Amino acid sequence: MIELTEVHKSFGSNHVLKGAGFRVEKGESRVVIGGSGSGKSVILKHIIGIMRPDSGKVMVSGIDITVLKEQELYEVRKKFGMLFQMAALFDSMSVWENVGFALRRNRGLRPRDVMEIAIEKLKMVGLVNVEKMMPSELSGGMKKRVGLARAIAHEPEILLYDEPTTGLDPITADAINNLIVDLRERLRVTSVAITHDMQSAYKIADRISMLYQGRIIATGTPEEIRNSDDAFVRQFVSGSSEGPIKTEGADSEGID
C-alpha cells in the first residue's frame, strides 16, 4: 500500500533522511518512532507528497508519487486523511466547516449535506453540539478530535497521524489512542503514525519502525520492539538518557 525506498532528503547542509525505507501493508497500522529532530514528520510529509525526496521512491497504491505532476498529486491526496500535531484547524472557519472542507470543495456537496456529514463524523470522534463553535473555543483534546473528524470526513483509505498524543494530558491522550484504534477497526484504513510516546505506539501499532539518524534501524510488532536486543531501540523505548543515542548535538536539529 505504502512503500518508501532509499529516501534521501536534505535541508541545506542538514541531511535528514539518509536512505529511509519501509513498507506498510493494506489495512496495517504502522507507527514510526524516533527522537525529536530525527525526521519523523519529514517522512510523513513525503508519504502524502507535501515534500519530494532528493532521491528515492515513495509508492502509494502502486504509484510512484515522486514523479507525479501537481494536479495528479492532488488526486492521490484524496485517498489520504491527516491529523496534525496541533490539529491545524482553519481558525477562520467553524468546526463543521473545518470537518466538511474537503467534501464541499472536492465533491461540491451542498452546505446542508456537508453539515449533516460533519455532525455524524464529529459524533464518531465523541463530540456533540460543537459544530457551530470556532476552533479558538475548543480545548487541545477537542481540537485533536475535530482534526480527526476532518481527516476521516471524506472516507480516506489511508490515515496519517503526526504525533497524535503530543501536548495532551495522559487521560485525554489515552482517549485519543482508543479513538484511533476504534476508527481503524470501523473504517478498515491503512494508517501511519509518528510519535515518541511509547504508550501510544504500543497501543495503536500493528508494527513499529524506529527511525534513527535518517534510517529505519528496526521494525517489529510492539512486543518485539519492547523486547528488542538492539541497544538503540532498548534505550529509546525505555526512555533512558544513558546509552548509544546522544541527547546533545542532534544532527538534524529543528527538523522533527
Binding site for other proteins (CB under 8 A): 45, 48, 50, 70-71, 74-75, 77-78, 80-82, 84-86, 88-91, 101-102, 105-106, 108, 150, 154, 160
Q: Of the two residues 84 and 236, which places its CB atom closer to other proteins in the complex?
A: 84
Assigned C-alpha cell, 188: 478498515
| CA pair distance 88, 108, nearest whole angstrom | 23
Q: Of the two residues 144 and 203, which places its CB atom closer to other proteins in the complex?
A: 144
CB 198 within 8 A of CB 23: no
Sign, Cα dihedral of 172, 175, 176, 177: positive
| Least distance between other proteins and beta carbon 77 (Å) | 4
Q: Of the two residues 48 and 218, which places its CB atom closer to other proteins in the complex?
A: 48
Strands (E), 26-171: 29-33, 55-60, 63-64, 80-83, 158-162
Nearest to 201 by CA among 31, 15, 43, 51: 31
| Least distance between other proteins and beta carbon 160 (Å) | 8
Give first-to-last CA distance, the chain, whole Å.
Answer: 24
Q: Of the two residues 22 and 80, which places its CB atom closer to other proteins in the complex?
A: 80
| Least distance between other proteins and beta carbon 162 (Å) | 8
| Least distance between other proteins and beta carbon 246 (Å) | 26
CB 208 within 8 A of CB 222: yes
In angstroms, the Cα distances linking 173 to 89, 95, 147, 197 are 19, 21, 14, 10
Q: Of the two residues 48 and 119, which places its CB atom closer to other proteins in the complex?
A: 48
| Least distance between other proteins and beta carbon 171 (Å) | 25
